[in-house]
Amino acid sequence: MKPQAAARPVSPVRERRLGAFVFLAPGLVYLVVLMLVPLALVLSNVFFQRGRFGGLVYEFTTENFTRLIDPLYLGVVGDSLKIAAVTTLIALLLGYPTAYLIAQLPPKWKTIALVAIVLPFWTNFIIRVYAWIILLNGQGLINSGLKVFGLDPLELLYTDGAVVTGLLYSYLPLMVLPLYAAIDKLDPQLREASANLGASPLTTFRKVTLPLTVPGVLTGSLFVFVPSFGNFVIPEMLGGGKSIMVGNLIRTEFLKARDWPFGSALATALVVVLVLLLIAQARAARRA
Amino acid sequence: MRRSRLLHVPFWFTYFFLYAPIVVLVMMSFNSGKSAYTYEGFSLKWYGVLAQDKKVMEGLVNTLVVAVGSTVIATVLGTLLAVGLARYTRSKTLDAFALMPAVLPDLVLAIGLLVFYGLVQFTLGLYSVILAHGVFAMAFVAAVVRTRLAGADTSLEEASRDLGAGPVTTFVKVTLPQLAPGIVAGALLAFTLSLDEFVIAFFTIGNLEQTLPIVIYSMIRFGVTPEINALGTILLLVSFTAVIVGQRLTKIGESRAQD
């Protein structure tokens, strides 16, 4: 008995089509139904009115857009951009030297140093944020330390600084990894050549190392900026009620105020900002 | 030399910054006192309190159910998708589309799914979270398996076909075993991501059930106790072990592939 497939050979073209269908269709259908359709719903919600008890009333309106450019909400978007930008900048200032030194380590230590960077990233996100509540609280470790030295306690928790610290703590590994990948690829002979030709270490860094690692800088910055900008958990847990970011507004509109159309408008604004950033990053990377 | 010394400051600060909170968290879990802020003495009592906590145990079971369910979906669909993308199409758009859930802000996917489930009247609960986690987990599995496919040798598959094996046999007996380390690594990644995921679960689980991260989140809102530290310490231990095992597995896979 021969297997059926051998008895009745399928033409290669038909087999390819069948293969493409069997392999691609399940995953793509899943993504269309559970990602693309939901996204399209969010985008189309923007044009409708809110229902009295949540949900939607399918009547066209542009009210959600006019509310979006209200200075109150634009201010929140601006604050979110600022907090995410500060976080990204500090991550870059800490991450670059760290990645640079990791790249100089002997291979065995390199692996250990890299695993040590990612390890905290794989632990529970909420627990990582919680750890900072313990540290920053009025009776927390940092303030207890200050008291030992006879200093007045500082208000650390529920400040913008606490939010930036929490975001930095959560996403710093995402900065270090692409930077490391970019720096590790560099040919050390380039730096030697630059030094041999009389350039100071600073000039070598400015003219050789930094320009060649720009793609890494851009990727890392994007990896930190994107999750920071859209965050709502960290501003809520570490920022208290004071520090509101776009994410908090979206969360409130959806789960508390039950104004889905306006929540969707805010989410659309979030996506638009991120898409613009992605385009800017791709352009900058091509130029580098 | 002085310059490179100067670089050591941010280098060591980064590691101090990453690990100091973890050390404090673990230390305070052994506190005999009631406060998560002031250490009074060594005790394991908070681990006992934790073991008796019904809400935590329920949350843990729910989290595991969600993680297993979404990992199964993500591993099967993600592997198929990776093979399909590598072998049956050259479309860059499809490539980007398959990666999209990994770059999409979790909050946007979360509200999108909430609206979608509402529209099709899908009851919120563990199933809705499983399906939701499947979305981003699949993207990660597909990405990991694809990197493995890029290094895979197609001549083995061709040889299998030339020797008379059908496409299904070839896939099961030749392609899959070659991809196995990638699939395992992808599944492990999907599982860990789902265990940890908060935002999407928070929006799509409804009011009746809670996953562990949601339980922790509501515990923190009611007040800070060493019990949360004890739970955090256990979770740290679990994820550290998973990362190290994963690291080993990929290494074994790599050295086998080189043989």
DSSP type of residue B31: B
Nearest to A135 among B24, B220, B229 (CB): B24
What span, in angstroms and rounded, lies between the C-alpha atoms of A163 and A87? 9
Q: How confident is the model at residue B254, as a pLDDT?
A: 59
Q: How confident is the model at residue B37, as a pLDDT?
A: 78
Q: How confident is the model at residue B87, as a pLDDT?
A: 86
DSSP type of residue A57: E
For residue B32, give the 3-state DSSP assignment.
coil
Residues of B in contact with A116 (CB under 8 A): 15, 18-19
| Residues ≥6 apart with Cβ < 8 Å to B225 | B34, B36, B46, B219
Distance from CA of B17 to the nearest CA of A (A): 8
What span, in angstroms and rounded, lies between the C-alpha atoms of A130 and B28? 12
Q: How confident is the model at residue A5, as a pLDDT?
A: 47
Q: How confident is the model at residue A54, as a pLDDT?
A: 66
Q: How confident is the model at residue A171, as a pLDDT?
A: 95
By CB atoms closer than 10 A (0-12, 13-18, 19+), residue B169 is middle
What span, in angstroms and rounded, lies between the C-alpha atoms of B247 and A117? 14
Q: How confident is the model at residue B62, as a pLDDT?
A: 96
pLDDT digits (tens, 9 = 90+) for A203-226: 888 888 888 889 899 999 999 999
Question: From B78, which residue of chain A is nearest by alpha-carbon distance?
Answer: A27
Closest CA to B206 of B78, B97, B66, B98: B66
Distance from CA of A193 to the nearest CA of B (A): 18
Q: What value does the mean pLDDT take over residues A270-283?
A: 88
End-to-end CA distance of chain B: 42
Q: How confident is the model at residue A40, as a pLDDT?
A: 94
Residue with more model confidence, A56 or B189: B189
pLDDT digits (tens, 9 = 90+) for A161-195: 999 999 999 999 999 999 999 998 888 888 888 88
Nearest to B10 among A98, A201, A250 (CB): A98
pLDDT digits (tens, 9 = 90+) for B76-126: 999 999 999 988 888 889 988 998 998 888 999 999 999 999 999 999 999
pTM of the predicted model as reported, rounded to 2 decimal places: 0.88
Instruction: Give the mean pLDDT per block of 10 residues along chain B (259 residues).
Output: 72 94 91 81 89 92 96 97 90 89 91 93 95 96 88 83 88 89 89 92 94 93 88 89 76 57
- Residue A257 corresponds to which tokens in the numbers above? 């105020």
Q: What value does the mean pLDDT take over residues A131-157?
A: 82
Note the ipTM here: 0.88
Contact A143, A155 (CB under 8 A): no
Residues of B in contact with A124 (CB under 8 A): 195-196, 213, 216, 232, 235-236, 239
Give the gyration radius of chain B's Cα atoms: 23
HSE on the CB side for B37, CA within 13 Å? 15
Contact A27, B80 (CB under 8 A): yes
Q: What value does the mean pLDDT take over residues A114-119?
A: 91
Residues of B in contact with A237 (CB under 8 A): 220
Closest CA to A124 of B198, B161, B221: B198
Q: Among the residues of chain A, which ranges form H helices? A: 4-7, 12-31, 37-45, 63-68, 71-104, 107-118, 125-136, 141-148, 160-185, 188-196, 201-204, 210-212, 214-229, 233-239, 246-251, 260-287
Q: How confident is the model at residue A188, as a pLDDT?
A: 81
Q: How confident is the model at residue A7, as a pLDDT?
A: 46
Q: What percent of chain A has pLDDT over 90?
A: 40
Nearest to B77 among A30, A102, A131 (CB): A30
Q: What value does the mean pLDDT take over residues A191-201?
A: 85
Whole-number average pLDDT of chain A: 87
- Residue B241 corresponds to which tokens in the numbers above? 């072990």
- Inspect the interface and report whether the beta carbons of A267 and B132 lie closer than 8 Å: no
What span, in angstroms and rounded, lies between the C-alpha atoms of A124 and A129? 9
- Inspect the interface and report whether the beta carbons of B84 and A125 lie closer than 8 Å: no
Contact A269, A77 (CB under 8 A): yes
- Residue A128 corresponds to which tokens in the numbers above? 């990582």
Q: How confident is the model at residue A10, as a pLDDT?
A: 65
pLDDT digits (tens, 9 = 90+) for A238-268: 988 676 899 999 998 888 888 889 999 999 9
Is the pLDDT at A8 greater than 70? The verdict is no
Residues of A in contact with B73 (CB under 8 A): 30
Q: How confident is the model at residue B4, as a pLDDT?
A: 65
Q: How confident is the model at residue A117, as a pLDDT?
A: 93
Distance from CA of B249 to the nearest CA of A (A): 14
Residues of B in contact with A148 (CB under 8 A): none
Q: How confident is the model at residue B255, as a pLDDT?
A: 60
